[in-house]
Amino acid sequence: MSEVEIESLSKSYGPIEVLDAVTLRVERGTTTAVVGSSGCGKTTLLRVVAGFDSPDAGTVSIAGALVARPGRVVPPHRRRVGYVAQDGALFPHLSVAGNIGFGLRGTRSGDRARSGRRVAQLLEMVSLDESYARRRPHELSGGQQQRVALARALAREPEVMLLDEPFSALDAGLRASTRKSVAQTLDAAGVTTILVTHDQEEALSFAGQVAVMRAGRFTQVGAPEQVYHRPVDIFTAEFLGECVLLPAVVAGGIADCALGRIPVRANAFEGPARMMLRPEQIVASDPGEDPDGRKTGTVTATEFLGTQALLDITLDSSPTHIRVRQAGTRTPAVGSLVAIEVLGEAEVFPVANRNG
């Protein structure tokens, strides 16, 4: 049995249906990222699991115990969940130790020494020095605040950790490092985790399972590689990263398109299709003397991004524009001729599938 089971969960605010029969299973000790654009319902989903909101239909179970069904909910303080909000929501009137100990004292007898040891232990878990215990929340950086919030949520040894965009308030450099340390901490603690985010890169790198949400429904739930490389529809494909989309005709495991004949996965359908490639699957290189049957094109614009470069290329054989992402070490000049190669398989969607 899964640690968290969300079954056909629905929730409306007035006429707006925020969650539409959402079903999700999160296995014990794993991490799931729910990713979607703002207003897609992902935060509401998390709030229902936490107990801050109640569902209109459907059920939520945590560790085998039913915690929410329409008309009956377990209040948040009786669920064994940890919750880390976007801004950390540290209590400004308490020190770091007071914040971390807030949930401890209610559950165990007020043994000060033991609580102090536990605070130190938790600080160590989130890689903060013991000296931070006496500090006030406003004396911490954003990343430190988030780590204290995590330690505070871990203190009660929750069955499930719920993270509501906990990194989005941090600046770019801090975000990546905080994300990594939080992921390691949660992994070491073995806590089942649900992360809600609008950042697809965060979702793909953080979680073992990614659930892509759109308008109150999941479009796809799967491993990061699967949802990235094998998206079920064009919405999911475009949401998770840049795409090169070309018209193609599929026959016998091959998609025939402006870039040539490209293999697709074995059990794909046949007929006219829209074909999707990730920009990093396309390699543009110096054609040399002989393009050797490769398609060629002319670079019309380049955008240098540091480690990578984006190339806009117009194919010579047909008036098709494609965008290529490759290492920024040797960027071809604008106007130069390049040969184009495609790595790996393409994903194809039936033509009518534009809107997922």
Partner 1 sequence: MIAPTLVRPRSGGSERRRVPPVVAAVVTVLVAVTLIPLGYVIATTIATGWETASALIFRPRVGELLRNTVALVVITVPVCMTLGVGAAWIVERTTVFGHRYWAPILAAPLAVPAFVNSYAWVSVIPSLHGLWSGVLVATLSYFPLVALPVAATLRRLDPGIEESAGALGAGPYRVFFRIVVPQLRLPILGGGLLIGLHLLAEYGAFAMLRFDTFTTAIFEQFQSTFNGAAGSMLASVLVLCCLVLLVAEAAARGSARYARVGSGAPRRPDRIRLRWSAVPAALGLVALTVAALGVPLWTIARWLRIGGTDVWRTGTLWPAFAQTLALGLLGAAVTTALAFPVAWIAVRRPGVFSRMVEGCNYVTSSLPGIVTALALITVTIRYANPLYQTVIVLITAYVLMFLPRALVSLRSGLAQVPVGLEEASAALGRSQASTFVRVTLRLTAPAAAAGAALVFMAIVTELTATLLLAPIGTRTLSTRFWSLTSELDYAAAAPFALAMILLALPMTYLLMRQSQKAAGL
Is the CB of residue 151 less than 8 Å from the CB of residue 95?
no
The smaller minimum CB distance to partner 1, of residues 172 and 352, is found at 172
| Contact status: 81 vs partner 1 (CB under 8 A) | yes
CB proximity list for 254: less than 8 A, separation 6 or greater:
261, 262, 263, 264
Q: Given the complex with partner 1, which of 98 and 332 has the nearer CB atom?
A: 98
The site for partner 1, by CB under 8 A, has a size of 45
**Count of CB atoms situated within 10 Å of the CB of 181:** 18
**Residue 142 sits in the site that holds partner 1 (CB under 8 A):** no
Dihedral, CA of residue 73, residue 76, residue 82 and residue 85, to nearest 10:
110
- Residue 4, burial from CB neighbour count under 10 angstroms (0-12, 13-18, 19+): buried
Rounded Cα distance between 222 and 235, Å, is: 15
Q: Does 103 bind partner 1 (CB under 8 A)?
A: yes
Is 28 one of the binding residues for partner 1 (CB under 8 A)?
Answer: no
Decide: is 79 part of the binding site for partner 1 (CB under 8 A).
yes
Distance, in Å, from the CA atom of 295 to the CA atom of 332, rounded to the nearest integer, reads 16
For the chain, the distance separating the N- and C-terminal CA atoms, rounded to the nearest angstrom, is 31
Task: Determine if 21 is a binding residue for partner 1 (CB under 8 A).
Answer: no
Closest distance between partner 1 and the C-beta of residue 187, in Å? Answer: 21
- Is residue 54 a contact residue for partner 1 (CB under 8 A)? yes
The answer to the question of residue 138 lying near partner 1 (CB under 8 A) is no
323 binds partner 1 (CB under 8 A): no
Interaction of residue 89 with partner 1, rule CB under 8 A: yes
DSSP 43-107: HHHHHHHHTSS--SEEEEEETTEEEEETTEE--GGGS-EEEE-TT----TTS-HHHHHHHHHHHH
Binder among 5, 7, 56, 238 for partner 1 (CB under 8 A): 56
Closer by beta carbon to partner 1, 80 or else 230: 80
Q: Which is nearer to partner 1, 109 or 267 (CB)?
A: 109
Residue 55 touches partner 1, criterion: CB under 8 A: yes
DSSP state of 264: B
Residue 51 sits in the site that holds partner 1 (CB under 8 A)? yes
Binding to partner 1 by residue 33, rule CB under 8 A? no
For 118-144, give one letter per residue: b (16+ CB within 10 A) or e: bbbebbebbebeeebbeeebeebebbb
Q: Which of 16, 91, 190, 270 binds partner 1 (CB under 8 A)?
A: 91
Name which position in 4, 24, 46, 73 contacts partner 1 (CB under 8 A): 73
Which residues contact partner 1 (rule: CB under 8 A)? Answer: 11-12, 50-56, 63, 65-67, 69-83, 85, 87, 89, 91-93, 102-103, 106-107, 149, 152-153, 155-156, 159, 162
